[in-house]
Amino acid sequence: MFGLGPVELMIVGVIAVLLFGSRLPSVARSMGQSLVEFKKGMQGIEHEMHVSNAATPSPESEPSAPSGSEASTAPKFEPPTAEPKDV
* Residue 3 domain flag: no
41 vs 54: CA distance, rounded Å = 20
Q: What is the rounded average pLDDT of the residues 19-40?
A: 90
Of 31 and 4, more confident:
31
* Residue 33 domain flag: yes
Q: What is the DSSP letter of 21?
A: G
Q: What is the rounded average pLDDT of the residues 31-53?
A: 92
44 vs 50: CA distance, rounded Å = 10
pTM above threshold 0.75 = no
Report the pLDDT value the prediction gives residue 40, as an integer from 0 to 100: 94
19 vs 12: CA distance, rounded Å = 10
* Residue 34 domain flag: yes
Domain that holds residue 51: 29-55
Report the pLDDT value the prediction gives residue 20, as an integer from 0 to 100: 82
* Residue 49 domain flag: yes
Residue 42 near residue 48 (C-beta atoms within 8 A): no
Per-residue pLDDT reduced to its tens digit, 44-69:
999 988 888 887 766 565 555 555 55
Domain count, the chain: 1
